[in-house]
Structure 1
Amino acid sequence: MIKVLIVDDDKLVRKGISSAMPWNEFNMEVVGEASNGLKALDFLKSQPVDLMLTDLAMPVMSGIELMRAARQLYPELHIVVLTLHQDFDYIQEALRLGAVDYIAKVQLEKEQFEHVLHRIHTRIDELANRKQKQPLLSETNVHYRHVYALVSLDRKLGQNWPIEPTSNGEELRWEIERNSWMWAAPMDVGDQLFQRLKESLNQVHQSALLIISDVQERTWSQIQNWIINYTETSLFYAYDPDDPVIAVSMNVDDSLPIEPQDEDMDRIKQSWFLSPWPHNDSYYNQLIEQFKSLRLHKSQLIGLLYSIVMEWNHLFAQTKLGRISMSHSFLSWYEVEAWIKQTSVGIRKADVQTSYSQEIVDAVKKSIIIMQNDLDQAFTASSLSRQLNISRSYFSQCFKDLMGKTFNEYSRFIRIEKSKEYLLNTNNTIFWIAERVGYTDEKYFSRIFRELTGLLPSEYRQLGRGDKKRTLL
């Protein structure tokens, strides 16, 4: 019996999935529920679980963080992602943390329950069968000088064997995971194997050839796990399509990224929004180095980029400063840097078209970020213009022209937008929310809220939460 844990911060969603799906028909049993990642880890410590279904967006510990921790602590655990997104390609590519499948909650209908569980059960069986085929080789010590790994960074495309082993039987090959292969041969034929693998690189989409040293006296299983970890972390940064042959040592343990601190992530966001990096090579290089120095796991990096793009478009998409677009997937840092450079070109074009000096455009951007970061403060056009060393009248004129709203209109707009988030995602009082968005008078806040939305805050909360539950169920 496959024991199942369901992790989602919405109780109704947990209960709905637990009770509605035909678990018994697929030899599955729901043994527990958890409302966030920390509680899920506590449950995993207390009793065995074979399959965990987890939401991505949760308080306390997100689904991404939970997956990362669970994979290290419980490598045999199968994970399925619950998501609100119908197009999951980019999320699946971003996570790459071992999820065997995903469930799009907006598409969950009764007639699909059986299909979803059948798909998950089939995938679990495939992984179990693959593991059963490997025991004799997996625990054998390696005595070769090098092990080679031919790895495609694109896991979506099916690939045939790029080359066949020689007929003399001296070469060994091993499928690591989809689109990844491990090869080894005695020293006297190792050079020939290397040349054949190198020539095969153009047969495998966006591939790299790893020459792995210091493999002696390690088991095939250890080497295989090391290659998987390296592929999902360091290779993302090391890959260069112009030089796809990479020499690495198993003694250099750089396969695990450094866990980033919140202040590191905030520093990058501040650089993106407040420094003139699209217009200045020095600032551009600083931004690139900030990204690279964190050595974020690919899922973390893409999550950070998505948050930057979403925040930028939330602030500027409807203004003369323009929107930016996000690629649905990145296979390497090489592609990320190309996207950043392309984005800088788009930002420069939008800035030039405003007819204002770059100094003024940057000042308006900075004023918006200041306001967004401190919504509980009572900013005025006068105070911000003094802070930015611009005359009040000229600042107000530029602000309205670039943002499409007067300073006061924009100030009210962003405060009410933030209050909507609080109303839907917290249980805090209306007074608490009013204070957090800069209103000390609850009645005045409610009046402004109603003017802009047509609803009182309490009515908006009730209506919005009702819609959310209907969507999830």
Structure 2
Amino acid sequence: MIQAMIVEDEYFVRKGLITTLPWESFGIRIAAEASNGRKALELLAEKPVDLIFTDLIMPAMNGLELLRCIRQQYPGIHVVILTCHQDFHYIQDTLRLGALDYIVKTELETGNLEEALQRITDRIKGSATGRSEGPGTATVWLDSDETLLQSHMDEWLKLYWVIRDDDFEQLRLRLETMQPPIPKLRKVMHSLIVEVNRLIGMGDLHEWLNRSENVDNWEEWRTYIARFRRAVGEKLRSSSYPEYVLLSILDSVEYMKTNVDSKVTQSAMAAKARMSRGYFSKCFRDIAGKPFPEYLKELRIGRAKLLLIQSGRHIADIAVDCGFQDYRYFSRQFKEETGFLPSEFRISAGERGRNP
């Protein structure tokens, strides 16, 4: 059982953390609590623990000062930072000082803490088996790390990080905290670039892919992702639309990626965005890089391809689920996009699976 301490100056927040979370389900026992860094150090002198969750902003001694003292006096103790969005400029310092991870406090409110606790306990187990804690230097990459990384990269595809500085800082720091090996980092960046190009049509895809292959460390990655963000931002802003319009179109794109049935129409999405149909159509084409009907058709065909490969459902049912009420029209559209009829595509995909 991992012995842990909560360091948090707000009494009710601290007690809430201790009493309401399923610590023991993750092999963690809260053995001590403190209201600031100074009291935490006094307790550690009497009863050392394995893991400390600490707020950053506290009286007497803040979380950053506490982390420095722990690194000097108790280097074997893992430290997780509890932070708010506005504390991002502190998080980089905590990671450099060796913090194991950080939890944004909104995760506590949205029910995502269990995922965070699993990530933290996996990291502690990984370090016990020889995993290095420095970003990008991990010698062990766990299955749970891979699952978490793939889930995290889905957040990059939402593109809000291109517009909002806080979103970018949060995603960047989270990825660095995960410590994927550099070859793995290149692979996920490759996928991100390809998908962003598909979403908004960057135009210089191969140049960005080639640059990603030359990333050899985290410092180079920070420079690379900042430049890529700037290029994507310039593409999105090239139409000179105000930020609220850019975000509204991004909201529409995100909605369409998970909703492709027949109820998703240009008129419906325009109403959802509180725009006239004509203005929405123009904004969408300029920002997303292609007309709304073409964009929606590509999403629907992409969804149909997945269902044809991953399920044995009737093709007519798949067509309806993907927004095509007429099976014959669906077949024509599918062949126009892929070169195969849906039935041919399913057979071909099955043969490729059997003969990789």
TM-score, with normalisation over the residues of structure 2? 0.51
Q: CA deviation at 1:384?
A: 2.0
Counterpart check, 1:382 vs 2:281: no
Number of the residue aligned with 1:416: 301
SS in 2 for 1:375: coil
In the alignment, the residues of structure 2 paired with residue 413 and residue 401 of structure 1 have an alpha-carbon distance, to the nearest angstrom, of 17
Amino acid across the alignment from 2:133: S
1:194-216 Cα deviation digits (max 9, x unpaired): xxxxxxxxxxxxxxxxxxxxxxx
Alignment of 1:78-117 (within 5 A): none
In the alignment, the residues of structure 2 paired with residue 429 and residue 400 of structure 1 have an alpha-carbon distance, to the nearest angstrom, of 34
SS in 2 for 1:315: helix
Number of the residue aligned with 1:339: 224
Q: Is the 8 A contact 2:315 2:342 kept in 1?
A: yes
Closer, same or farther: CA 433–263 of 1 in aligned 2, 3 Å? farther
Q: Is the 8 A contact 2:200 2:287 kept in 1?
A: no
Q: CA deviation at 1:401?
A: 3.4
Q: CA deviation at 1:328?
A: 1.6
Number of the residue aligned with 1:234: 133
SS in 1 for 2:240: coil
Counterpart check, 1:284 vs 2:183: no
Amino acid across the alignment from 2:172: I
Q: Is the 8 A contact 1:234 1:255 kept in 2?
A: no
Q: Is the 8 A contact 1:319 1:402 kept in 2?
A: no
SS in 2 for 1:372: helix
Q: CA deviation at 1:331?
A: 3.0
Q: Is the 8 A contact 1:386 1:392 kept in 2?
A: yes
Q: CA deviation at 1:417?
A: 3.2
SS in 2 for 1:334: helix
SS in 2 for 1:354: coil
Alignment of 1:30-429 (within 5 A): 229-230=130-131, 233-237=132-136, 259-260=144-145, 265-275=150-160, 277-298=161-182, 300-317=184-201, 324-325=208-209, 327-328=212-213, 330-376=215-261, 378-424=263-309, 427-429=312-314
Closer, same or farther: CA 273–396 of 1 in aligned 2, 3 Å? same
1:81-102 Cα deviation digits (max 9, x unpaired): xxxxxxxxxxxxxxxxxxxxxx
Q: CA deviation at 1:360?
A: 2.4
Q: CA deviation at 1:353?
A: 2.5
In the alignment, the residues of structure 2 paired with residue 318 and residue 274 of structure 1 have an alpha-carbon distance, to the nearest angstrom, of 13
Q: Is the 8 A contact 2:256 2:264 kept in 1?
A: yes
In the alignment, the residues of structure 2 paired with residue 255 and residue 392 of structure 1 have an alpha-carbon distance, to the nearest angstrom, of 53
Number of the residue aligned with 1:438: 323
SS in 2 for 1:327: helix
TM-score, with normalisation over the residues of structure 1? 0.40
Percent identity between the two aligned chains: 25
Q: Is the 8 A contact 1:316 1:323 kept in 2?
A: no
Q: CA deviation at 1:262?
A: 5.0
Could you say which structure has the higher helix fraction?
2
SS in 1 for 2:158: helix
Q: Is the 8 A contact 1:321 1:351 kept in 2?
A: no
In the alignment, the residues of structure 1 paired with residue 203 and residue 274 of structure 2 have an alpha-carbon distance, to the nearest angstrom, of 23
Closer, same or farther: CA 404–323 of 1 in aligned 2, 3 Å? farther
In the alignment, the residues of structure 2 paired with residue 322 and residue 383 of structure 1 have an alpha-carbon distance, to the nearest angstrom, of 36
Closer, same or farther: CA 279–377 of 1 in aligned 2, 3 Å? same
In the alignment, the residues of structure 2 paired with residue 228 and residue 261 of structure 1 have an alpha-carbon distance, to the nearest angstrom, of 17
Q: CA deviation at 1:379?
A: 0.9
Amino acid across the alignment from 1:313: N
In the alignment, the residues of structure 2 paired with residue 301 and residue 377 of structure 1 have an alpha-carbon distance, to the nearest angstrom, of 38
Amino acid across the alignment from 1:282: D
Mark the structure with the bigger radius of gyration: 1
Q: Is the 8 A contact 1:320 1:403 kept in 2?
A: no
Q: Is the 8 A contact 2:162 2:229 kept in 1?
A: yes
Amino acid across the alignment from 1:350: K
Number of the residue aligned with 1:18: none
Structure with the larger RCO, 1 or 2 (CA within 8 Å, 6+ apart): 1
In the alignment, the residues of structure 1 paired with residue 179 and residue 274 of structure 2 have an alpha-carbon distance, to the nearest angstrom, of 37
In the alignment, the residues of structure 2 paired with residue 417 and residue 333 of structure 1 have an alpha-carbon distance, to the nearest angstrom, of 34
SS in 2 for 1:234: coil
Number of the residue aligned with 1:14: none
Q: CA deviation at 1:396?
A: 0.9
Unaligned runs of 5+ in 1: 1-225, 239-253
Q: Is the 8 A contact 1:319 1:403 kept in 2?
A: no
How many correspondences in the alignment?
229
Could you say which structure has the higher strand fraction?
1
Closer, same or farther: CA 332–444 of 1 in aligned 2, 3 Å? same
1:296-352 Cα deviation digits (max 9, x unpaired): 454554443333222212222267999953612543222222221111121122233
In the alignment, the residues of structure 1 paired with residue 354 and residue 179 of structure 2 have an alpha-carbon distance, to the nearest angstrom, of 40
SS in 2 for 1:439: coil
In the alignment, the residues of structure 2 paired with residue 327 and residue 430 of structure 1 have an alpha-carbon distance, to the nearest angstrom, of 39
Amino acid across the alignment from 2:266: A
